[in-house]
Amino acid sequence: MVKLVLLHRADSIYDDEPDRVYDFPRAYLKAVQEGVGDWVLFYEPVKAGPRGYFAAAKIQQVIPKPGAEGRFLALIEPGSYLPFDREVPRLRDGRSWESALMAADGTVKSGGAQQLAVRRLPDREFTAIVSQGLPQDLMEIEARRYERHAEFDDGEPVPFERPVIERLVNRPYRDVAFRRKVREAYDYRCALSGLRLRNGGGRPEVQAAHIRPVEHQGSDSVRNGLALSGTLHWMFDRGLLSVADDGSVLVSRNKVPGRLWTDWSIRGVSSCSRWTSATILIRKTCAGTARMSLVRWS
């Protein structure tokens, strides 16, 4: 097995969904087959946007793409995809994270290897990139995020060094990473009520819910998340609210009084957020009739 870097752009013409499947040509088949069962990093090429390395996932298997001679699909292991808490720039102090992209004279190579859609990645470099994107003390950072005067505390104990693979598979760690990205994407506002509430210490009251539950192969991708207030999250988890395959909001009308849900609408991510390439579900209510549309921010 070998770790890989997979290039992905949000406007790809191929059937790429990083949390589900990666579409690639035969030229990369050998390399991707070597990566089956191991972890990959997703990377946005320079011409596609500023993100650099933005997520990790695990390849489950490789299959021929139905109806497309010479193309293949790398299926992502359900539940393995995890977006970075902070995207990792392509360069660090003027040098690439990947030794394969550095020339002998210490400069960054141009063209050639830079343009490869699939690149092999040594374990050491994989660890360095993940450690930047998913800090080992992320859970502690989140727990203390809204503590008053936390920035003035001295003598904090050194956090336990959690190995990168443990971070990627640890459910509590993944829950924190998912919650941070989803709440940020929705600007800390409930997607249904539109309320953005904070407690006396400034901590957001909104929570992050998986649209498709993790136990049913739902991913930790932001597109599988909704920011919901505590009560609406509770209703969502108990089936009083749900999201249909077409993205519409389903309400158990015999259990939820009509006066509570008539004006609900799903609000998308803030246009000023970094998630401008995410596909967001928007539900609009007009004259008592609901209609759905899939909106791609650009």
283-298 confidence digits (pLDDT tens): 322 222 222 232 222 2
pTM of the model: 0.77
Q: Is residue 187 part of a domain?
A: yes
pLDDT of residue 46: 81
Contacts 24+ apart (CB under 8 A), 252-258: none
And the tokens for 107? 């400069």
Residues 18 and 104 in one domain: yes
| pLDDT category of residue 246 using cuts at 50, 70 and 90 | low
Task: Name the domain count of the chain.
Answer: 2
Asked if the model's pLDDT at residue 270 lies above 70, the reply is: no
For the chain, the C-alpha Rg in angstroms (whole number) is: 21
User: Tens of pLDDT along 136-181?
Assistant: 889 888 888 776 544 444 445 444 456 788 889 999 999 999 999 9
Query: What pLDDT score was predicted for residue 120?
Result: 95
| Three-state secondary structure call for residue 101 | helix
pLDDT digits (tens, 9 = 90+) for 73-123: 999 999 999 999 999 999 998 899 999 999 888 888 887 777 899 999 999
Half-sphere exposure of 126 (CA within 13 A, CB side): 22
In-domain check, residue 160: no
Pair 32, 125 in one domain: yes
Residue of 252, 249, 242 whose CA lies nearest to 263: 249
Mean pLDDT across the chain: 80
Q: Identify the pLDDT of residue 192.
A: 80
**Among 133, 168, 192, residue at a domain's last position:** 133
15 occurs within a structural domain: yes
User: What single-letter amino acid sits at 35?
Assistant: G
Domain residue limits at 264: 180-296
The mean pLDDT of 241-261, rounded to a whole number, is 67
In a domain, 209, yes or no: yes
pLDDT at 269: 46
Backbone angles phi, psi at 130, to 5 degrees: -65, -40
CATH number, domain containing residue 72? 3.10.590
